[in-house]
Amino acid sequence: MFVVRLMSFVTAFVCISSCNYAEDPSALSETYVNAVGTIRDVMISTGHASLEDDFDPELFRFNPSALDPKVAKRYEAKGVEEHEKSAREGESLSQYVLACYYTVYTKNYQKALYWAEKSVEAGYAESMLVLGGAYLLGNGVPVDISEGVKWIILADAKGNEDFKRELNEIKRVLPDKDSEGYREGSRRAAAWVQSHRNLFFNPN
């Protein structure tokens, strides 16, 4: 199950972190659309691991797109069930994967935001990026550029070096740093850090 979750993280991370938000957010929307198959494959692979005794942990040898649609649907449902169970137990990775799944595949933004916020409260940087995209696009919430900027700034501050490199493309197309929208987002980010100091100032 560890390998499944690790691959889920890598694949789902690409779904969101490769987004490119511009003046017209259609580029970000298009990335979400293109990611549908990818995040669904995460769920199918997780379900396959849970249901099949002979599952090969090397997921790249397992091709979800080659499955019979009915079989794939069964694996997908099981995968969602597995991640929901882990998410309810507090596992941030599964909460993040569900946030991606509900955003890009089912478009159930209420569930996506619910799980993203749960993961964010544990300091999960990738889920901060999911929230940033939601506010930039208005997925389940009113469009709020400053709130989107806030979460992108926080994701950048919290993420590791590899994650920061993935964020560079997004940061280049955010509003200008001298704009009121960006300045307000920066103020909100600073306030959030102060109210969640344990996530940013932790020796562990």
pLDDT digits (tens, 9 = 90+) for 165-178: 766 666 766 778 88
Q: From the centroid of its chain, how far is CA 177?
A: 25
Does residue 7 have a pLDDT over 80?
no
| DSSP state, residue 159 | S
Crossing angle for the helix pair 26-34 and 36-51, to the nearest 10 degrees? 30
pLDDT for 154 equals 92
What is the extent of the structural domain holding 19?
2-200
pLDDT for 54 equals 47
Across the chain, mean pLDDT equals: 75
Most confident of 26-30, 107-111, 153-157: 107-111
Does residue 39 have a pLDDT over 60?
yes
Give the span between the Cα atoms of 139 and 61, in whole angstroms.
34
* Mean pLDDT on 41-52: 74
Give the span between the Cα atoms of 144 and 53, in whole angstroms.
47
* Mean pLDDT on 151-155: 90
Does residue 83 have a pLDDT over 80?
yes
Q: From the centroid of its chain, how far is CA 11?
A: 10
Residue-wise DSSP of 86-113: HHHTT-HHHHHHHHHHHHHTS--HHHHH
pLDDT band at 113 (very low <50, low <70, confident <90, very high): very high
The total of structural domains in the chain comes to 1
154: nearest Cα among 204, 200, 103: 200
* Mean pLDDT on 3-17: 37
Alpha helices in the chain (DSSP H): 2-17, 26-34, 36-51, 69-88, 92-104, 109-121, 125-137, 145-158, 161-172, 180-195, 197-200
Give the span between the Cα atoms of 156 and 172, in whole angstroms.
13
Q: In this predicted model, which residue has the larger pLDDT, 76 or 165?
A: 76
**What percent of the chain shows pLDDT beyond 90?**
25
Does residue 131 have a pLDDT over 80?
yes
Residue 201 burial by Cβ neighbours in a 10 Å radius (0-12, 13-18, 19+)? exposed
Give the span between the Cα atoms of 96 and 144, in whole angstroms.
21
Does residue 158 have a pLDDT over 90?
no
- Cα torsion 19, 83, 89, 196 to 10°: value is 0
